[in-house]
Amino acid sequence: MSYTFQGYRRANGKVGSRNLVAVIPSVICANDVGQAICRQVQGTIGYFHHQGCCQLPIDLKRVTDTLSNLGQSPNVGAALLVSLGCEGTDANRLVEEISAAGKPVEIIRIQELGGTARAIQAGIDAAQRLVQEISGIQREETDVSEVVMAIKCGASDTTSGMASNCVIGYVADKLVDLGATVVFGETTEFLGGEHILARRAVGGENGPVGQKIYEIVERMESRAKAIGEDMRGGQPTPGNIAGGLSSIEEKSLGAIVKSGTRPIQGVLEYTERIDGQKGLWIKDAPGREPEILTGMAATGAQFMMFSTGRGAPQGFPSMPVIKICGNPNTYERMQHDMDLNAGRIITGEKTIEEVGEEAFQEMLKVLSGKMTKNEALGYFGSMDIFCLGPVI
C-alpha cells in the first residue's frame, strides 16, 4: 500500500505542509515590530522568542542556529528578518543561510531605519511582497516517505501511556516502515526508562547510540540535581500528579510508548536538523512545550502528533500540531481543542490499531492542508528557544 499527501516542494527538495512567510526577530527586542507586521499582513507567522542578547556565546550561537533552522524549515516559503541592530545573534548569517536554502529573504533593521514606526512600515511592505511572491505556489503529490513527524506528549495523565501514546506509537512504527522519518525528544521523560530506549538503539545498549542515550539523560538529570532540589517539585507537574502519575519514572515509562518499537537510529542535538535521515531519531530537548515545539519545527518536522490526557491546547506558529487525547472525560470537555479521541481505547470501544489508523489518515489530511483545531483557533503563538546558560 502506498500513501501520498499534497505538499509544497521547496528549492532544496524538501516538502512542506504549509506555505508561510516567517517573520523572524533576531532578538526579543524586535518582537513588537514583528508582531505589528504579522497583525497587518495575511499569510505571515512570527517566531516571538525571548532570547538573542546578553547571553553566553554558546547560547547566542544556539539562538542563531535555531532561528536559521526555523527559517529553512519546509513549511516556511519565505522569511522576513527583523533585526534591532545591536543584538548578540548574527542576523547576517540568518539571511545568508535561509537564502542558501532557496527561499526569498528580506531584512529590516530597526535602528538603521529610524525607529519603530518606520521599521513597521518597511516590514509591512516587505512582508506583503514576500506573501504575494510565494502565495501562488501549488501543492504537489508527495510520497509519504518524505514525511518528517515530530512527536510529543504534554499535560499527561495515566491514560497517556495506555491510550494516546500507544496510538502515536502505532503511527510512528507505520511511518518508519514506509521509509519516513520520526523524531521524538523530552529527555527529562526518559528518566527511569532510558535502559529500554538504549536497548532499542542501533548497535545495542553498549554501542555509540545506546551510550549517547544514557549520556543525554545523565546530562539532564545532573542539571536538575545540581540545584540541590528534589525534582518532584517540578516533574511530574502538579497536573500530572492530579492525573495519577506518581513519579517521573512512571511518567517516563508511559511517555516512551509514543516512540513505537522500531530501532533508534541516533541522537540529534537541539540545533541539528533532519537532512534526509530516515527512521526513528531522538532530539535532545526538554519536555516543556515552547522549547521542544521550537526544537522540533527547527529540525524540519512538517507536523507534530501530540498526545495529552489532561488537555494541552497549544500549537506552534509554523507546524500543525494534531492533538490525540487519551482521556475520554477530557475529550468530552475539550473537544474543540482535541483532534482525535483515543479515550475510546480506555472505554473499550476501539482498539489501539483502529484509532492508530484514524490518526494516520488524519495526518495525511493535515499534511495536505487541513487545519488542526489549534491552527483554526489561532492558538499557536507561544514559542521559545532552549538555552543552556544564564542571562548575563
Kindly list the residues in this chain that would bind other proteins in the complex (CB under 8 A). 157-159, 161-162, 191-193, 196, 221, 224-232, 235, 241-244, 246-250, 253-254, 309, 327, 329, 346
Which CB atom, from 347 or from 361, has the smaller least distance to other proteins? 347
Peptide bond into 236 cis (omega under 30): yes
Rg, the chain, Cα only? 20
SS3 call for 198: helix
Furthest-apart CA atoms within the chain: distance in Å = 64
Say which residues have a Cβ less than 8 Å from residue 322's Cβ, sequence separation at least 6: 303, 304, 305, 306, 339, 340, 359, 362, 363, 366, 372
Query: Which amino acid would we find at residue 248?
Result: I
Compute the Cα dihedral for 214, 187, 251, 320 and give only its sign: negative
How far is Cα 308 from Cα 248, in angstroms, rounded to an integer?
16
Estimate the crossing angle of helix 116-134 against helix 31-40, to 10 degrees.
Answer: 50
- CA 304, 306, 310 angle in degrees (round to 5)? 160
How far is Cα 189 from Cα 296, in angstroms, rounded to an integer?
16
C-alpha cell at 51: 532570547
How far is Cα 3 from Cα 141, in angstroms, rounded to an integer?
10
Say which residues have a Cβ less than 8 Å from residue 43's Cβ, sequence separation at least 6: 19, 20, 21, 131, 135
Decide: 212 and 267 in contact? Cβ < 8 Å.
Answer: yes
Decide: 84 and 29 in contact? Cβ < 8 Å.
Answer: yes
Map grid coordinates 528557544 to a residue.
385
Which CB atom, from 5 or from 190, has the smaller least distance to other proteins? 190
How far is Cα 293 from Cα 73, in angstroms, rounded to an integer?
13
How far is Cα 128 from Cα 125, in angstroms, rounded to an integer?
5
Which CB atom, from 217 or from 319, has the smaller least distance to other proteins? 217
